[in-house]
Structure 1
Amino acid sequence: METLNFAIPTLFGLEALAADELRRLGLDQVRAENGRVLCSGRPGDIPRMDLNLRTGERVLLVLGTFPAGDFDALFEGTRALPWEQFIPREGRFPVKGHCLNSALHSVPACQSIVKKAAAARLGDAYGLNTLPETGALFQIQFSIMKDTAVLMLDTSGPGLYKRGYRAHGVDAPLRETLAAAMVLLSRYRGRDPLCDPFCGSGTIPIEAALIAKNRAPGLNRSFSAQKWSWLPTQAWMDAADEAQDREFHGDYEIWGGDIDPAAVELARHNAQLAEVDDIVRFEAADARTFHWGGMYGRIVTNPPYGERIMERREAEELYRAFGKAWAKFPETWKLYLLSSHTEFERTFGKTADRKRKLYNGMLKCDLFLYGVK
């Protein structure tokens, strides 16, 4: 079990960022595809990826890829994989997955076939007609695209965007992986002020603080693979030690504001849970009159879109007022603003220097870049 293959699903638009993260972690054969990044590594890389990845959605261990044009091919291909190398006698192995552009399009039927095939292989290996499934969780995931099946085990459990610092959020929260991506795309490294005048429950400033400190986002949560007997506890301890040794300690200017005092209180609470409350500051403030004293810095923000929280007209009025506030900033400042509003630049009052297409869940958005040549 020396070399293993992995698939890291991402939100659309974040593939290159996740690939960069994996290369920095020293993973091999890193290659980005639509909605995922593939790579190879060793068992000890599983905890390193789960703990450190900021823009990946989860870490999937790929067991095999094979043609699956019909149910017989799916059954035989699944049964041929070495499940017993990974799933112990008592292991629980529920199945979930998706099908796209394939002859096999019924997800429940494919789930049933994969479950029966894996159970048949494990039953033969352990000499059992019925498997107990009373032990650790080994979530099987399948992807069938264009009649090709990929069979995987989910090492993460809850998605990696669940950092452990946000028990609940305000309306239409921004996923943590996307917030981290926005900060990374702004090239923020902790040296200049970073502000979010629409901070909501604080996700963007908190992710910025984690990036500034180089703190691994998964240190405060657990993962499914921590209970896998073939992956030693020491590997998780070593990965956590490595991550903590790489942390920075310094003074940072990170600020979040929101017009809703309840959101600000929640943001402060979340920052405490993320252990960054010492370097990020939250205040009740109105983005329509937002200003900052410094000669340079960046704003990374995700204002209400109109179709999700506020009425469209209210959102446009907010964009117009914020555009006037932004116009008073020195040219040395940079703005990175995420919106799904198709007329954002018109209502904001200024055409973006650059745009980048991103997705907030399944909602297509643009990241509007100002002050960036």
Structure 2
Amino acid sequence: MKSLEYIVPVPMGIEAIVAKELRELGYEKQIVENGKVLFQGGMEAIPRANLWLRTGDRVLIKMAEFHATTFEELFQGTKAIPWEEWLPKEAKFPVLGRSHASQLSSVPACQSIVKKAVVERMREKYHLSWFEETGPLYTIEVSLLKNKALITLDTTGPSLHKRGYRELTAQAPIKETLAASLILLSRWSPDRPFHDPVCGSGTIPIEAALLGRNIAPGLHRTFPSQEWSIVPQRLWDLARGEAKDLARRNLRLEITGTDRDEKVLSLAHYHSRRAGVSETIRFRPLPVKEVTLKGEYGVLIANPPYGERIGGDQEVEDLYRQMGRLYERNPSWSFFVITSHPAFEALFGKKATKNRKLYNGRIETHYYQYFGPFPPRKEEEEA
């Protein structure tokens, strides 16, 4: 089969990170747009991208894109897609939809039209009047933007942030994909110490351990496209075999996480065990003001409470001041903090080297980055 065009939806602000991940997988032909990255690849990209992407939301196949201001145009454009090449007669094919700034504004109506068009195309192939839909899942989505219809097929199922290790959650957890983005933006490498002073249920340290040991984040979960007859099982076997071979499970890492809440730390221990990295992360019950960072040239990443307004949460503001003092005591470390609090830099006591706008769910935040010195090269140490 010829090269396919894929779409990876991403939260605003991390498109470049996803593009870099795809390039490292060997997919150089890409287009980066707001909220998504498009790339080209063969059928093997379905298992490889789903297993390896740490920061994207899903891997979608772009089936068609066309102008549609009437239901007839939407119907004919959808029916022109060779669905019979993808969907077996027993396929389960729900249709999701959304519409923005388009004449076809009724999403349920658009979903119904697309479903009808797919059924008509399938009838011509299979000569059936009714489809039971008891087989593998093929989720179709119609997205209308400024009268342009985009039809996609979802290879992923539940979002890629659902790695499979976090069944229990604490209050205001950070998504695994965003946690991985924060780590990749920090330029942390496995030879440097890593600490999260407000680790909660452990997501950021666990993602650091998975990254440091080069463990594919999707290795221990399933995807609906595994059941697709059009994707040879050998491609999944090859992709999973490659991921297992590349994992460095015995690599020693210096990763620690602290939190004042002992109850939430029990979740961190549980999640790290499920992720298979418990032996390389040390969790301790400790408030930020009592944290002591060990080693030099380490990286600290924190997703602290944000507070609701300036002066509205004294405890949060005191926490930011304590983090600032911790930074002053550790000049060789790099600090990275994500928050929506508008007075963070003033409370921390220092203007960030740079900051980046990111979205934590629907909350607009800034990622404050305080870059410390890089570790000396081995040649310099030997000299």
TM value normalised by structure 1: 0.96
CA contact (8 A) 1:258 1:264 kept: yes
Structural mapping, 1:108-257, within 5 Å: 108-248=108-248, 249-257=250-258
- Deviation track 1:1-39 (CA, whole Å, cap 9, x = no partner) reads 331110000111111110111111112421211111001
Separation of aligned partners in 2, 1:323 and 1:283: 21
The match for 1:41 is 41
CA contact (8 A) 2:193 2:296 kept: no
The match for 2:273 is 272
**Residue 260 of structure 1: CA displacement?**
0.7
CA contact (8 A) 1:28 1:41 kept: no
CA contact (8 A) 2:74 2:113 kept: yes
The match for 2:284 is 283
The match for 1:106 is 106
Report the secondary structure of 1:278's partner residue.
helix
- Deviation track 1:75-107 (CA, whole Å, cap 9, x = no partner) reads 111111111111110001001121122122221
The match for 2:370 is 370
Structural mapping, 1:67-106, within 5 Å: 67-106=67-106
Q: Which one-letter code corresponds to 1:253 in the other structure?
A: E
Q: Which one-letter code corresponds to 1:325 in the other structure?
A: L
CA contact (8 A) 2:297 2:372 kept: no
**Residue 322 of structure 1: CA displacement?**
2.1
CA contact (8 A) 1:8 1:38 kept: yes
Question: CA 1:334–1:28 in structure 2 vs 1: closer, same or farther (change >3 Å)?
Answer: closer
- Deviation track 1:44-93 (CA, whole Å, cap 9, x = no partner) reads 11000000000110110111111112211111111111111111100010
The match for 2:316 is 315
Structure 1 runs (4+) deviating above 4 angstroms are: none
Separation of aligned partners in 1, 2:61 and 2:28: 14
Separation of aligned partners in 1, 2:289 and 2:142: 47
Structural mapping, 1:297-312, within 5 Å: 297-307=298-308, 312=313
The match for 1:335 is 335
Separation of aligned partners in 1, 2:286 and 2:142: 46
Separation of aligned partners in 1, 2:161 and 2:197: 22
Separation of aligned partners in 1, 2:63 and 2:326: 53
Separation of aligned partners in 2, 1:158 and 1:243: 20
Gaps of 5+ in 2: 374-383
Q: Which one-letter code corresponds to 2:27 in the other structure?
A: L
Report the secondary structure of 2:29's partner residue.
strand
Q: Which one-letter code corresponds to 1:277 in the other structure?
A: S
Separation of aligned partners in 1, 2:190 and 2:101: 44
**Residue 289 of structure 1: CA displacement?**
2.6
**Residue 372 of structure 1: CA displacement?**
5.0
CA contact (8 A) 2:332 2:372 kept: no
After the TM superposition, which of the residue ranges 123-132 and 81-90 deviates more from structure 2? 123-132
Q: Which one-letter code corresponds to 1:43 in the other structure?
A: M
Separation of aligned partners in 2, 1:172 and 1:270: 16
CA contact (8 A) 2:51 2:219 kept: yes
Separation of aligned partners in 1, 2:283 and 2:353: 29
After the TM superposition, which of the residue ranges 349-358 and 162-171 deviates more from structure 2? 349-358
CA contact (8 A) 1:289 1:322 kept: no
Q: Which one-letter code corresponds to 2:129 in the other structure?
A: N
Separation of aligned partners in 1, 2:276 and 2:26: 27
CA contact (8 A) 1:18 1:56 kept: yes
Separation of aligned partners in 2, 1:55 and 1:122: 35
The match for 2:296 is 295
CA contact (8 A) 2:61 2:154 kept: yes
Q: Which one-letter code corresponds to 2:355 in the other structure?
A: K
Gaps of 5+ in 1: none
CA contact (8 A) 2:165 2:271 kept: yes
The match for 1:65 is 65
Report the secondary structure of 1:81's partner residue.
coil
Separation of aligned partners in 1, 2:151 and 2:371: 45
Structural mapping, 1:15-34, within 5 Å: 15-34=15-34
**Residue 311 of structure 1: CA displacement?**
6.1
